Amino acid sequence: MKTTTTTTSPVSTAPPLPADLEDLLRKLRLPHIRRHAPEVVATAKAPRWEPAEVLKALFAEGVAGRERSALATRRAAAGFPTGKTFDAWPPEISSIPAPTQQALRTLEWVHRRENLVVCGPSGTGKTFRLEALGQQAVEAGLKVAWFTLEDLGVLLRRHRADDTVTKAIARVLRADLVIVDDIGLLPVAVDAAEGLYRLVDAAYEKRSVAISSNLHPAGFDELMPKTLATATVDRLLHHAHDCQTSGESVRLTQALAGQRVSPLS
């Protein structure tokens, strides 16, 4: 379930704007300036700000408001599963070398349209890392799309009937980074395997694809038809960073230590 954080703006005690000015700001579609203008105008009166300072403060509020709205839109469009960020897990817990973790967080690989493969046992932070990287990309102004293999299978079936699969994949690739999570836990349905191939093929050298898997891509022919697996892996790994996790499940370790649960009374 996704988690959302709601922020409540303090109730304004500043006098409202004149009705004609309020109406002008509404017609100009400047909601963030309209929201903050009473406080800015009231604040500017005592020290007698210069008109340019008032305008600068108002426009700064407008820009900040638009950036907040755009961030919220990108985050909602990404479809992240939980809302986890790098603040949720200390980097020293990961078995991925610290220099590699730091390099991934620069997002330079996304700007270079390179791929990322994170594979290893369950519970070693694969999904967490991809979501945290996705959240960081969204905060940096990039568009992200989150999928599971099942999602890709559903997408393919939905658009196969009217022969719009290519257009559907093209819409997915409006994102700068496409993440496909949790490959390898179950056998892959034919539709899902084809969906993964179509995505990787269309994104090749044009967009970044990141996957998490219990199985290294070299063994994908155990999960899907060999021809599709070979073609998919060939394109996926050509410009890819290969990160392998190891160790015990963090979830299991925390469970055995009595963490992540409230004690029974």
What is the rounded CA–CA span in Å between residue 204 and residue 200?
6
pLDDT for res 10: 47
pLDDT for res 127: 92
pLDDT for res 197: 96
Per-residue pLDDT of the chain (265 residues; tens, 9 = 90+): 344 444 444 445 778 888 888 888 888 888 888 888 888 888 888 788 888 888 888 888 888 888 999 999 999 999 999 888 988 777 777 889 999 999 999 999 999 999 999 999 888 889 999 999 999 999 999 999 999 999 999 999 999 988 899 999 999 999 999 999 989 877 889 999 999 999 999 999 999 999 999 999 999 999 999 999 999 999 999 999 999 998 666 554 555 455 655 665 5
Torsion angle of C-alpha atoms 132, 136, 142, 143, degrees rounded to 10: 30
pLDDT tens-digit series, residues 219-228: 999 999 999 9
What is the rounded CA–CA span in Å between residue 196 and residue 180?
8
Q: Could you write out the DSSP letters of every residue in 218-252?
A: GGGGGTS-HHHHHHHHHHHHHTEEEEE--SS-HHH
Provide the total of helices (H) and of strands (E) in the chain, helices listed first: 11, 5
pLDDT tens-digit series, residues 100-136: 999 999 999 999 999 999 999 888 889 999 999 999 9
Residue (of 141, 51, 104, 86) closest to 241 by Cα position = 104
pLDDT for res 249: 60
pLDDT for res 129: 93
Identity of residue 83? G
pLDDT for res 219: 92
pLDDT for res 105: 96
